[in-house]
Structure 1
Amino acid sequence: MGKEAVNDSVVKLTQALIQQRSYSGEEKGVSDELTKYFKENGYTDVHVDKYGNTIGHIKGSRPGESILFDGHMDTVPVTDESVWKYPPFAAEIHDGKIYGRGTSDMKGALAAMAVAAAEFNKETKGDFAGDIYVAGVVHEECFEGVAAREISKYANPDIVVIGEASQLNLKIGQRGRAEIKLEVFGKAAHSANPEKGINAVYKIGEIISEIRKLEPTHNEVLGDGILELVDIKSQPYPGASVVPEYCVATYDRRLLVGETLESVIAPIQELLDKMMKADPELDAKVSYSVGKEKCFTGETITGERFFPGWLYNEDEEFVQTAYKALKDIGQNPVITQYNFCTNGSHYAGEAKIKTFGLGPSKENLAHTLNEYIEIEQLQSVKDSYKAICRAFL
């Protein structure tokens, strides 16, 4: 099958974004493409903030609510381009699908948002109440919701639409995510005389066994607040003839609604306090990992790795408004939840802004080899976003 050409504005913009490789911290090419599109297609103004978030704004003719469409510009890396069926940054079209890194996660949705807002503005001749913001977000793959804090501060939206893949279904919640660091401080010694040291790995092993006995929190809709060990490292490494004096274990914690920085860490801290009281040689500490990433603007983005969960009731008025808007254009969405983290951790979880997810493509295509998006899904979600604009503005 050869390369196909499709003369469609959403397809063209999606291809342009895919052709700009944009790993986290390298989103400038996508930012430039978006900025160009905003300026050439009737947006009132464009704002690129200190982190590189790129926000197009269309002002309506009358005061009203503001709606923010959120789509991240960064992608996870491609480990080996040679094993891809089609080049991951060529955005080739085959059998009605665009192939490439970021097609489903989530440059297709971002392109559809930008085009939908421009078309809605043109079709209404700008005669609508309120404001539309389309935000291309940086660093979402490492920091769900951290860069988004700058966006909500700037746009102050009443409604947020997250464009992560949902197969055109409405998503009204998700578990959050935290990265917890468990550290144990031992005492180095020659491994020929281990009794003179304190082996940090043995000590952390005892704690890990006890942590596995902790009862997980639970939510009827979102499930368990999972706490899973994901890596462990000791020092010195390699430990040639040395009893390790330090060991750190990282846990992935899936967060439920209402869980806080304090409530999540409390049971682990209580366990450590009890174990340290029983064992005078044990010196252990629990905390949240802190991430630090360089932005393409030169700014550094820093944040604790704690991204809250959120959940709305499907009977809420704004959810039903969105649902009805989609039904009215012949779509048939199911109201459900995401099974992964999104920038909704900030908008809904932290800032308490009314938020729902609505995106094209399948959730399980994110981060995969031979990632693609169906053109039919792209065109349908553009209609979805226009319907949302009509319903709220």
Structure 2
Amino acid sequence: MTDAAELTARLIRCPSVTPEEGGALDLLGGLLGRAGFQVHRVDRNGTPNLFARWGDKGARSFGFNGHTDVVPPGDPAAWTHPPFSGHVESGVIWGRGATDMKSGVAAFAAAAIDFVTNTPPDGAIILAITGDEEGPAQDGTRALLDWMAERDERMDVCIVGEPSNPDFMGEMMKIGRRGSVTFRIKAAGLQGHAAYPHRARNPLHALTRFLEGLIAAPLDEGTEHFDPSGLQITSIDCGNPASNVIPATATAIVNIRFNDLHDGASLTGELERRAGAITAETGVAIEIVPHVSGDAFLTKPGDFVDLVRDVVEQETGHQPELSTSGGTSDARFVKDHCPVVEFGLVGHYMHQVDERVPVAQVQQLQAIYHKILERFFA
């Protein structure tokens, strides 16, 4: 039997801080290749990725997606054990990536290896593993999906192994995610003396009026599977060191986490409409520059969601809540390829100093993934 906990410790010892591969994908590629998987490196623009398939191309297939890259550890001296030591003590694995998410990758890789070794399925298992989830995410899972499309590789369903449980195993699985869009807003007025405002056009006055309009009322009241959309002003700046000068320009940053009533294009259009009205009133030009990280999506409850939910309840004793909470993940790319859900470990120590995970939890996740494969191919 492949030990997911031991594999987690070995992966942690690979210092794969985005965008460095650190040896993690080489380690996984070797293990999977020896188990009979066809393994391909799918690097794009210097970003490391790994694709592995057991079984015939075109056969009914189950996919796993995850990442081996990690965020920087910060000051190594602040850690109880060195961040890339993979130290195991008293049933706990320590190190950067222990929770997010080398343990998840180890669990689904170990489950897949054991499953095809002991019970070769009538179908295919695909692992799509990226080294670019914690970074820009332009050449990671996106590159893998592009590469797969070019070669007619297909996952029928997919689990993303990100930590999904807030406090205990079996508490929650993700069947969707809110969308996220960031707007950089620039107001261009006319600089002048604060004592003579009639000779200037104050961009801050126009910008704050615009922002006040955005926060005056909720965007919506939520939907069946999503909470209300949320808008946050995260920055306002004009770079003005003088108290008696009306600045020429001012900028703001707004982030919106939105549900399935909206998409990035519709929100951009609404902000541009409001900006145009403020410009007409004040003479201050307001420019809106959007960056859409991903649109909202939902994998509707049905056979696939039920299968995962039933196995999680069977293995943990808890029926997981079907949630769309949290930030973004690479599921936002996978959802354009096939139905996708997220289920992984408890996320208590993600990105923290002294990131760690219980050995038993990693092994339980391996068992859950193995049982899901058994049920899917039964």
Cα deviation 1:81-103 (Å, max 9, x = unaligned): 22222222212122211111211
Letter in 2 for 1:341: T
Alpha-carbon separation, structure 2, partners of 1:234 and 1:132: 53
> Is the CA contact 2:17–2:72 (under 8 Å) kept in the aligned structure 1?
yes
Q: Which residue of 1 aligns with 2:54?
A: 58
1:93 paired to 2:88: yes
For 1:174-253, what aligned pairs fall within 5 Å after superposition? 174-188=177-191, 197-217=200-220, 218-235=222-239, 243-253=246-256
Letter in 2 for 1:162: V
State TM-score, norm by structure 2: 0.86
For 1:1-393, what aligned pairs fall within 5 Å after superposition? 9-50=3-44, 51-59=47-55, 64-124=59-119, 127-143=120-136, 147-153=140-146, 154=148, 155-166=153-164, 167-168=169-170, 169-188=172-191, 197-217=200-220, 218-235=222-239, 243-280=246-283, 282-289=284-291, 305-314=292-301, 316-327=302-313, 332-337=318-323, 338-348=325-335, 351=336, 353-360=338-345, 362-393=346-377
Cα deviation 1:272-329 (Å, max 9, x = unaligned): 111111112x11011213xxxxxxxxxxxxxxx3312222343x11112223344555
Letter in 2 for 1:384: I
Alpha-carbon separation, structure 1, partners of 2:257 and 2:190: 33
Alpha-carbon separation, structure 1, partners of 2:329 and 2:55: 27
Q: 1:331 to 1:200 in 2, by over 3 A?
A: same
Following superposition, the deviation at residue 221 of structure 1 comes to 2.8
Alpha-carbon separation, structure 2, partners of 1:44 and 1:139: 22
Letter in 2 for 1:334: P
Q: 1:88 to 1:199 in 2, by over 3 A?
A: farther
Is there any run of 5+ residues in structure 1 with no aligned partner, and where? 1-6, 290-304
Alpha-carbon separation, structure 2, partners of 1:136 and 1:239: 51
Q: 1:43 to 1:328 in 2, by over 3 A?
A: same
Q: Which secondary structure state, in structure 2, belongs to the residue aligned with residue 177 of structure 1?
A: strand
> Is the CA contact 1:225–1:254 (under 8 Å) kept in the aligned structure 2?
yes
Q: 1:249 to 1:287 in 2, by over 3 A?
A: same
Q: 1:197 to 1:88 in 2, by over 3 A?
A: farther
Q: 1:246 to 1:140 in 2, by over 3 A?
A: farther
Following superposition, the deviation at residue 28 of structure 1 comes to 4.4
Alpha-carbon separation, structure 2, partners of 1:231 and 1:24: 26
Following superposition, the deviation at residue 246 of structure 1 comes to 2.7
Alpha-carbon separation, structure 1, partners of 2:217 and 2:306: 39
Alpha-carbon separation, structure 2, partners of 1:197 and 1:229: 26
Alpha-carbon separation, structure 2, partners of 1:39 and 1:240: 66
Alpha-carbon separation, structure 1, partners of 2:347 and 2:138: 19
> Is the CA contact 1:144–1:342 (under 8 Å) kept in the aligned structure 2?
no
> Is the CA contact 2:19–2:135 (under 8 Å) kept in the aligned structure 1?
no
Alpha-carbon separation, structure 2, partners of 1:142 and 1:308: 18
Alpha-carbon separation, structure 2, partners of 1:17 and 1:188: 56
Q: Which secondary structure state, in structure 2, belongs to the residue aligned with residue 364 of structure 1?
A: coil
Alpha-carbon separation, structure 2, partners of 1:381 and 1:199: 57
State TM-score, norm by structure 1: 0.83
> Is the CA contact 1:28–1:52 (under 8 Å) kept in the aligned structure 2?
no
Alpha-carbon separation, structure 2, partners of 1:117 and 1:330: 20
Alpha-carbon separation, structure 2, partners of 1:195 and 1:100: 60
Following superposition, the deviation at residue 174 of structure 1 comes to 2.2
Alpha-carbon separation, structure 2, partners of 1:24 and 1:245: 38
Letter in 2 for 1:364: H
Alpha-carbon separation, structure 2, partners of 1:319 and 1:181: 37
Q: Give the superposed CA RMSD.
A: 2.8
Following superposition, the deviation at residue 118 of structure 1 comes to 0.9
Q: 1:42 to 1:258 in 2, by over 3 A?
A: farther
> Is the CA contact 2:8–2:98 (under 8 Å) kept in the aligned structure 1?
yes
> Is the CA contact 2:7–2:106 (under 8 Å) kept in the aligned structure 1?
yes
Is there any run of 5+ residues in structure 2 with no aligned partner, and where? none
Q: Which secondary structure state, in structure 1, belongs to the residue aligned with residue 99 of structure 2?
A: helix
